Homo-oligomer: A and B are copies of this chain.
Amino acid sequence: MMLAIGLNNLPLIKEGDELEKIIAKAIEEKGIKLEDGDIIVVTEKIVSKAEGRVIELNKIKASKKAQELAEKTGKDPRLVELMLREFKEVIKIGENFIIGETKHGFICANAGIDQSNIEEGKVKLLPENPDKSAERIRKFLEKKFNVRLGLIISDSFGRPFRKGSVGVALGASGVIALQDRRGNEDIYGKKLRVTRVAIADCLASLAILITGEGNERIPVVIIKGLDYLGEGKASDLLREKEKDVFR
């Protein structure tokens, strides 16, 4: 049996906040007992905010290239400027979107820059190194509660071919991110062929069902009863450009 509990008792997070301590306090206040094997999903929003990845748009000056792309896409030139700083490659543009590959290797629209759940006039970039952030938060919580945990930093991305966004793991620590089951057997004893499961992304999608994406104020989900601790990182899930038939 799997259990997932959302934490709705965190304060609004701001730059410089020690997020791991705030999460620990929220867990204690809720009276949740962490156990070995629990997996904690933290939404990217609060990680980025705590890490100061918040930018005042009117302090940004758009380059010529950004202005051109802004005209083509109908987006704010200052936002486009930030995207160009975050992307290492622009892949597709269209009305109101720019899809590219971020410095981390994520392929997403608008470099994951988000204007929701942030003060007017400000925008939020993705964390600099979400795998590292995940590790930092995990290690703090493991020490604090004396348990072995997995930790995911989650976001939601749209995707080709299907409508709507689903969860993605931007960062992961202490969990299996990509489970390679090739060589395992099926129920008839035959070898499984192409079964690599993106466990960390599935965990992020599970979390979305609980966090919502609006004003729910549930930025942390604690998952109990699964068996996915391991040595994975979210970067395990990045597909190399040359192996991607849709780029």
A contact set with B: CB distance below 8 Å:
1-5, 12, 92, 94, 99, 107, 115-120, 156, 158-168, 178-179, 181, 184-188, 190, 192-199, 201-203, 205-206, 208-210, 213-215, 217, 226, 228, 236-239, 244-247
Residues of B close to A186: CB separation below 8 A? 116-118, 214-215
- Please state if A162 and B168 are interface contacts (CB–CB under 8 Å): yes
In the A-B complex, the 3 residue pairs with the closest CB atoms: A164-B198, A160-B246, A205-B205
- Please state if A215 and B160 are interface contacts (CB–CB under 8 Å): no
Residue among A116, A201, A238 facing the most chain B CB atoms (10 A cut-off): A116
Residues of B close to A210: CB separation below 8 A? 2, 226
- Please state if B195 and A116 are interface contacts (CB–CB under 8 Å): yes
- Would you list 5 pairs from A and B whose C-beta atoms are within 8 A, ordered by A residue? A156-B197, A162-B239, A166-B198, A166-B202, A167-B202
- Please state if B198 and A161 are interface contacts (CB–CB under 8 Å): no
Given A5-B1, A193-B115, A161-B206 contact (CB < 8 Å): no
Residues of B close to A107: CB separation below 8 A? 160-162
**In the bound complex, CA of A234 to CA of B236 (Å):** 29
Q: Is the interface of A mostly helix, strand, loop or mixed?
A: loop
**In the bound complex, CA of A226 to CA of B203 (Å):** 16
Given A213-B197, A214-B195, A3-B5 contact (CB < 8 Å): no
Given A2-B3, A186-B117, A228-B199 contact (CB < 8 Å): no
- Please state if B245 and A246 are interface contacts (CB–CB under 8 Å): no
- Please state if B198 and A163 are interface contacts (CB–CB under 8 Å): yes
Residues of B close to A238: CB separation below 8 A? 162-163
Residues of B close to A1: CB separation below 8 A? 3-5
**In the bound complex, CA of A239 to CA of B161 (Å):** 5
A72 to chain B, nearest CB (A): 14
A45 to chain B, nearest CB (A): 10
- Please state if B164 and A201 are interface contacts (CB–CB under 8 Å): yes
